[in-house]
Amino acid sequence: MTDILIVEDNEELADILCDFLRAENYTVSVAKTGEKALSLYEKYGARLIVLDIMLPGIDGFAVCRKIREESDTPILIVSAKVDKEDKLNGLILGADDYIEKPYDIDIMLAKIAGIFKRRYAVDELIDGDIRVNKVSRTVCRNDIPIEMTVKEFELLVLLIENKGRILTKEYLFNQIWGSDSFSEQQTLTVHIKRLRQKIEDDPKNPKHIQTVWGVGYKYESI
């Protein structure tokens, strides 16, 4: 599933927004018409739709109405139509927010991040091509499921939720196995090795799960 579907007939504007979003590690698709947007959404889905109103063919209001008949996917309308009636129409049709063009890119990114945090952050962790669903307890990389044991899954979640922080071996071991566990800390080393084999391009030269010698490990985005 795509993170964000941009529906925008202004190619330059779409490309700029797309570049900024991909720099934030979102997966992005672009549609220049309402018909193409509905086709892409039906085929691949999306976690958020950034929707222009003035489109060739089916306009953005019609796209919003159609999607709302089938799902509650967040819709962020972005339009040069600034009349109160247009804004009300978009919100009544089910859009989650309405942003006027031209917009500040930092405000746009903040709004998008806020939508993802409110809707998905509790249940899902996303880092680049890695997606962890804490409800279904599944892990995907490039939308391909990865088989994991219970402890591997819990360890990966703990690492990603503390992205950029150095976590000591003692802390990791106690959090996952418990301080009164009969397992030994070597178990942690084995699980780290298995995780690297499953999520790293080169497990022998890991970019995500990095060793901090004499201390522990930390997880980094790439």
Task: List domains and CATH numbers for the chain.
Answer: 2-121 (3.40.50.2300), 124-219 (1.10.10.10)
Higher pLDDT, 107 or 120: 107
pLDDT exceeds cutoff 90 at 77 = yes
pLDDT exceeds cutoff 90 at 194 = yes
How far apart (Å, rounded) are the C-alpha atoms in residues 83 and 113? 26
**pLDDT given at position 196:** 97
* Mean of per-residue pLDDT scores for the chain: 91
pLDDT exceeds cutoff 60 at 153 = yes
Higher pLDDT, 114 or 182: 114
- Confidence class of residue 201 from pLDDT cuts 50, 70 and 90? very high
pLDDT exceeds cutoff 60 at 172 = yes
Its sign, for the CA torsion 147, 113, 98, 119, is positive
Decide if 188 contacts 152 (C-beta within 8 A). no
* Mean pLDDT of the region 32-46: 92
- Confidence class of residue 49 from pLDDT cuts 50, 70 and 90? very high
What does pTM read for this prediction?
0.59
How far apart (Å, rounded) are the C-alpha atoms in residues 65 and 35? 13
Interval 14-33: pLDDT, tens: 999 999 999 888 889 999 99
